[in-house]
Structure 1
Amino acid sequence: MYNVWIVDDEPFILKGLSGIVNWPDLGLVLAGQAENGQDALEQIEAAGAQVDILITDISMPEMDGLTLLEELRRRNPELKAIILSGYNEFEYIKQGMKLGIENYLLKPINLQELRETLIHSVEKLNRARIDRLSQDQVGMLKDNILYRWATGRIGPEQWRLRSEFLGLRLQAPFVAAAIVRAPDREADEAERDELKARIRRSCERFLTLRGAAYLSFLDTSDDTALFLASPSGDADGLAHLTEQLETLGDELRPALGCLPVLALGPLVAGFDRAPDSYRHAHQALEYAMLYPDEPVLVYDRLAGVSGSDYSPTADGDMYARLVLAHDLNRLAKQIEADFEAFSAMERMSPVRLRHGALEMVMQMKKLLKETPTGHPVFQTYHETVGRILGSASLEQLKELVRAMAAAISDALSEREERNPIVRQILQELEAACHKEYSLKTLAQAYRVHPVYLGQLFQKETGQSFSDYLNRLRIDRAIVLMRTTKMKMQEISEAVGYWDAAHFYKHFKKYVGVAPAQYRKMQGGASGAS
């Protein structure tokens, strides 16, 4: 937002302009008003404010508008000025031109002309700001604006202003959105950043060499999103884009070691409807769970796949018997068989497949009716439900169900009474997991050897001390993310991580996604970051 100051010795001009212009809609803030140049200068200096746009009368007592403009230009050379006057005074106009004014408006003021002048002034200020940014910063700004527009997070007027000065528009009769997702693999943050940058560069190089009109951006899932132009909106146009993406996938395969996941939204008439295609492309992307070998997931081909009103169900009694018998091998085979059967059902969709997985874990949870509600297995259950709802692959769904079965089996076979030392330590951790703990300090407090305490803890809980503490802290973090608007750094510190990178690492390890992505998937407290 840029600061505007209005200076005019006619009070009705000040009052009229302040109320009739929608300043925020133009990306502006009305920072102040004054009835002469001297008062304005004193107010600006007292406030320590920067004036970006000055709207000033020329003829005023104490200090005229051109003198005020000269004074303010010394403080901010990029200041934009709009001169007001009751007369078409040629000498004043010449002086104003030398000072680089944006417009010379005669009273009574034409509001449409004033608004257009303000819009152009904002565009110039934006361009100057862009010119000062590095290429990387400009790229990040473009990504942010495109993503906000594609997901409905920016108003029409703000989008119009920003898209014009950043060149974020496709002049094409028809447009379709495409998503390019990297294969899921174990990698640290630096490797992931390099991978997504390489995919994007490859996509842009591929499309540029073929003379295609496009725009690209990285979304919050680190996918490369593309808006692709097409001269026709019929089946031939869609087939051409599909073929382009298939060739792109083949070119990306050697660098990735496998095909990326590609999804294509429907062709829409005009660039202004591109967000609709983007939304449908994301819906098509989910079908990678059912069609992992499909080179391009085309929304128009998948839209009619789902439609039945049922959710698949598993044999709850069989699951109960296998869990009670602690026969996890047979249970894993049964889970595999059930998912195979679900996937082969007619008109199956990713949403219904997730519902089938939920049904499996809900059937097994019934076995915990004798287990105290404070037991960690219930937290694991709630966490697993959240991860199932946000799962992106069939293998992930299988693993979540298998892991839940193992957790319930462990809870059922757990001894009722723990070693008294371990029980006291667990109570202490439950009460204050944010404090600094180590086996060494706890061993001193309970007068046992650290190695023995570690072995005892592992035996009683089935986890190492550090794994148990980290898991407990992450569970607490999940609760805060769901129930508060605390920022991630605040949550990190509240549960015992003073290093945000350490928190990110452990959260990703135990939950499977980054903290911000998890909060978004859960639809948790909004506005926090």
Structure 2
Amino acid sequence: MLQLEKGKYFGIQNKAIHLDNLIITDTEYTHDKVDWHTHQNPYFTFLLTGSMQETNKKESYECSAGTLLFHNWQDAHCNIKHPGYTRGFHIELEQDFFDKYQLPLSQMEGSLKLYNPVFKLLFRSMYMETKYTAGIELLSIRESLFKVLGMLVNEKHRETARQPAWVKKIKEVLNGSDIFVLSWDTLASIAQVHPVHLSRCFPKYFNTTVGDYLKKLRIEQAAGLLTKADVSLTQVSYECGFADQSHFIRSFKQAVGVTPLQYRKIITAR
């Protein structure tokens, strides 16, 4: 089976940044189909635009813009790219990154599809850093990676432990398509727990509060809509449930690091 060398992906590499034990790339996917392969190092893929089908030894799933994946180095997978322009942002971590910072790579084996908007917005912010930051160190990228990896390790610990039944119910609802009509009482009713208990325990399993989670989901949806040139900023703001456009712009910049208009210009550039 083919194993790709570090920093190599199938497609056209638009940009590559080598930082000690990190390799950061922006790649346009040009192959309609990619056969089974592995990579030399573990890495994250954040799908910036387009869509594809990802298959590993355990499962197959559809990936659209905004999908975040983690692949360990030994994880074999294959891909089918759907028609259209498709681009991915990769952060590859060499083994000495895990050794240096004493991170347990063994606890993140296999392929993971990450749904939490906290993770996704950190990757959107890191991508913006590669576009705007001139300093080669890009310290904020390392800081964001530490946050992601720390939360991932905690999630793996929680998954191996016994989780309350309401956690699975809430995850299914939050990963659905109708999250913007959810109320606090509705979530508590779905979880079948007291609202106070939900408020107190939610951060333990979702890495943030209920309110912040829902806010980040709205920003994630907005980021996806911003890739569509025919959708105005006003329409994006309205469809994602923001009170007004100024609130939308302020919230988006705080989460991603740039304004919605700046983000649209960068993400749609070819």
TM bracket, shorter-chain basis: 0.5 to 0.7
1:468 shift after superposition: 1.0
Aligned to 2:28: none
Q: Which amino acid in 1 is paired with 2:167?
A: V
Partner of 2:7: none
Q: Does 1:408 align with 2:149?
A: yes
The answer as to whether partners of 1:380 and 1:404 remain within 8 angstroms in 2 is: no
CA gap of 1:382–1:482, structure 2 versus 1, over 3 A, is farther
SS where residue 482 of structure 1 aligns?
coil
Match of 1:432 among 177, 180, 195: 177
Partner of 1:523: 268
Q: Write the mapping of 1:306-321 to structure 2, written as runs, cut at 5 A.
A: 312-315=18-21, 316-321=94-99
- Residue matched to 1:467: 212
Query: Following TM superposition, by how much is the alpha carbon of 1:380 offset from its aligned partner in structure 2, in angstroms?
Result: 4.4
CA distance in 2 between partners of 1:419 and 1:524 (Å): 45
Number of residue-to-residue matches in the alignment: 178
1:318 counterpart letter in structure 2? D
Secondary structure at 2:112 match in 1: coil
1:177-231 per-position Cα deviation (integer Å, ceiling 9, x unaligned): xxxxxxxxxxxxxxxxxxxxxxxxxxxxxxxxxxxxxxxxxxxxxxxxxxxxxxx
1:449-468 aligned at under 5 Å gives the runs 449-468=194-213
Q: Deviations over 1:140-191 (max 9, x none)?
A: xxxxxxxxxxxxxxxxxxxxxxxxxxxxxxxxxxxxxxxxxxxxxxxxxxxx
Structure 1 unpaired stretches of 5+: 1-309, 327-363
1:370 to 93, 97, 110: 110
Higher relative contact order (CA 8 A, sep 6+): 2
Write the letter of the residue equivalent to 2:154. S
CA distance in 1 between counterparts of 2:262 and 2:255 reads 14
Structure 1 residue 516, shift from structure 2 partner: 0.7
Q: Between Structure 1 and Structure 2, which shows a larger proportion of strand residues?
A: 2
Say if 1:459 and 1:413 are closer, same or farther in 2 by CA, change over 3 A: closer
Identify the residue that residue 360 of structure 1 maps to in structure 2.
Answer: none
Please report how far the alpha carbon of residue 457 of structure 1 lies from its aligned counterpart in structure 2 after TM superposition: 0.6
1:14-53 map, 5 Å: none
What is the TM-score when the length of structure 2 is the normalising length? 0.55
**Contact 1:480–1:486 (8 Å) recurs in 2:** yes
Contact kept in structure 1, 2:167 and 2:191, CA below 8 Å? no
Counterpart contact for 2:125–2:255, Cα < 8 Å:
no
Deviation at 1:474, TM superposition (A): 1.1
**Structure-2 change in CA distance of 1:322 and 1:416 (3 Å):** farther
Counterpart-to-counterpart distance in 2, 1:463 and 1:424: 17
Distance 1:499 1:419 in 2: 37
2:20 counterpart letter in structure 1? A
Q: Match for 2:231 among 473, 479, 486?
A: 486
Q: CA deviation at 1:427?
A: 1.7
| Percent identity (aligned) | 24
SS at match of 1:485: coil
CA contact (8 A) 1:507 1:515 kept: yes
| Cα gap change, 1:484 to 1:311, in 2 (>3 Å) | closer
Structure 2 counterparts to residues 175-194 of structure 1, below 5 A: none
- Tell me how far apart the structure 1 counterparts of residues 214 and 95 of structure 2 sit (CA, whole Å): 35
Q: What's 2:257 paired with?
A: 512
1-side partners of 2:239 and 2:17: how far apart? 40
SS at 2:138's partner residue?
Answer: helix
Structure 2: where are the runs of 5+ without partners? 1-15, 22-93
| Cα offset, 1:399, TM superposition | 1.5
1:477 equivalent to 2:255? Answer: no
1:388/1:420 Cα in 2 relative to 1: closer, same or farther (>3 Å)? Answer: same
Q: Report the Cα offset of residue 463 of structure 1.
A: 0.5
CA positional deviation for 1:371: 4.3
State the Cα distance separating 1:524 from its structure 2 match. Answer: 5.2
Alignment check: 8 A CA contact 1:474 1:507 kept: yes
Q: Supply the distance in 2 between the matched residues of 1:370 and 1:400 (Cα, whole angstroms).
A: 24
Query: TM-score, with normalisation over the residues of structure 1?
Result: 0.30
Instruction: Give the deviation of 1:433 after TM superposition.
Output: 5.1
Q: Name the SS for the 2:159 alignment partner.
A: coil
Q: Any conservation in 1 of the 2:108–2:153 contact (CA below 8 Å)?
A: yes
Answer yes or no: is 1:383 the counterpart of 2:124: yes
- Secondary structure at 1:432's aligned position in 2? coil
| Aligned-pair Cα RMSD in Å | 3.3
- Correspondence for 1:31: none
CA distance in 2, matches of 1:509, 1:485: 24
**Bigger share in helix:** 1
Rounded to whole Å, the distance in 2 between the matches of 1:393 and 1:433 is: 40
Question: What is the Cα deviation at residue 440 of structure 1?
Answer: 3.3
1:96-495 mapped onto 2 (5 Å cutoff): 312-315=18-21, 316-322=94-100, 325=103, 370-376=110-116, 379-380=120-121, 382-392=123-133, 394=135, 397-414=138-155, 415-416=158-159, 418-432=163-177, 434-483=179-228, 485-495=230-240
- The separation in 2 between residues aligned to 1:500 and 1:395, in whole angstroms, is 34
Contact 1:433 1:495 in 2 (8 A): no
Deviation, structure 1 residue 465: 0.7
One-letter amino acid of the structure 1 residue matched with residue 152 of structure 2: A
**CA separation of 1:441 and 1:524: change in aligned 2, threshold 3 A:** farther
Whether the aligned pair in 1 keeps the contact of 2:115 and 2:175 (CA below 8 Å) is no
Q: CA deviation at 1:510?
A: 0.7
